[in-house]
Amino acid sequence: MPSFIGLDLAWTAHRESGVCWLQGESPDDLRCTRLGAAVCETESLADEIATAGGPVVVAIDAPLLYTPQRWAEREIARRFARYKASPHQAHYAVRRGYTAGIELGEALAARGFVLDPAPLLEGRRPARTGVEVFPHTIHVRPFGLDEHLPYKPRRGRSVAFRQSAMKSYQRHLRTLIEREAPGLLASEDVQRLLLPETADAARGAALKRLDDTLDGLTCALAAWLLWQKPERWEMVGDLSGYIVVPREIA
């Protein structure tokens, strides 16, 4: 049975990452088997992913491939400027020593995963694939938004403001799940994650954990949709570093 794994990967391995595991063949039988936030040591995480039976797609919010020639973030920032959705620069992260995604990419490649998204995007469904995604692009296109969701911590954003943005995130995510993968709503963990009361109760570390977990579920849904509807996605960048994003629907 295929597995679809989403990782909102922390910049360093000692911080919590959002993690979501899905399994299933069809929108109605897709199930969530793991959902939450956890500290993920690179080699252990790669080992765990590699033990999954059947085809595996891992969608990761973190740079997986990197060379100094990487230009994907600049192009994403240009294409999504009107949505105010711009990714962190991989060059900055690498200079600061934040290389958890690159290290995970190397660990997955050593275990037989393909990090080139081209075969998957062409509908060839390779057995084991890891791809880089950026949740904000998923929000503005499949969610159909005019602007990115402002749920991340920023100067001047109060807890109440972020909670409100989280509740909007929850609503849009539920709508996407109802449309593309309704079987996930059988999961109590998914139902709990999407309750507005969950956002209302979140403070401090719990608010960060909710942020990570929602992004982890979003990444897992991206992995599922890449498998089901690859024609709706495209690679921005090249093998010096890329991000797979939803295509703009005319």
Measure the CA dihedral 233/239/243/249, to 10°. Answer: -30
| Angle (nearest 5°) at CA 141 between 18 and 153 | 45
Percent of the chain whose predicted confidence (pLDDT) is above 90: 91
* pLDDT per position as a tens digit, 179-215: 999 999 999 999 999 999 999 999 999 999 999 999 9
> Which of 147, 178, 159, 11 lies closest to 81, judged by CA?
147
Which distant-in-sequence residues (6+ apart) come within 8 Å of 236 by Cβ? Answer: 72, 75, 76, 79, 242, 243, 244, 245
Per-residue confidence band for 250, with pLDDT thresholds at 50, 70 and 90: low
Angle, in degrees to the nearest 10, between helices 42-50 and 100-110: 40
Asked if residue 14 has pLDDT above 90, the reply is no
Query: 134 to each of 12, 48, 61, 144, 171, how far by Cα in Å?
Result: 17, 23, 5, 16, 19
* pLDDT per position as a tens digit, 127-171: 999 999 999 999 999 999 999 999 998 888 999 999 999 999 999
| DSSP string of 94-122, one letter each residue | HHTT--HHHHHHHHHHHTT-B---HHHHT
Asked if residue 176 has pLDDT above 70, the reply is yes
Length in residues, the chain: 250
> Which of 90, 94, 103 lies closest to 42, judged by CA?
103
What is the number of other CB atoms lying within 10 angstroms of the CB of residue 183? Answer: 18
Give the C-alpha separation, 80 to 52, whole Å. 34
DSSP run (H or E) holding 45 = helix 42-50
* Exposure of 115 in the CB half-sphere (CA atoms within 13 A): 24
Asked if residue 12 has pLDDT above 90, the reply is no
pTM, whole model, 2 decimals? Answer: 0.96
Asked if residue 242 has pLDDT above 60, the reply is yes
Asked if residue 249 has pLDDT above 80, the reply is no
Predicted local distance difference test score (pLDDT) of residue 192: 97
| Angle (nearest 5°) at CA 249 between 190 and 129 | 55
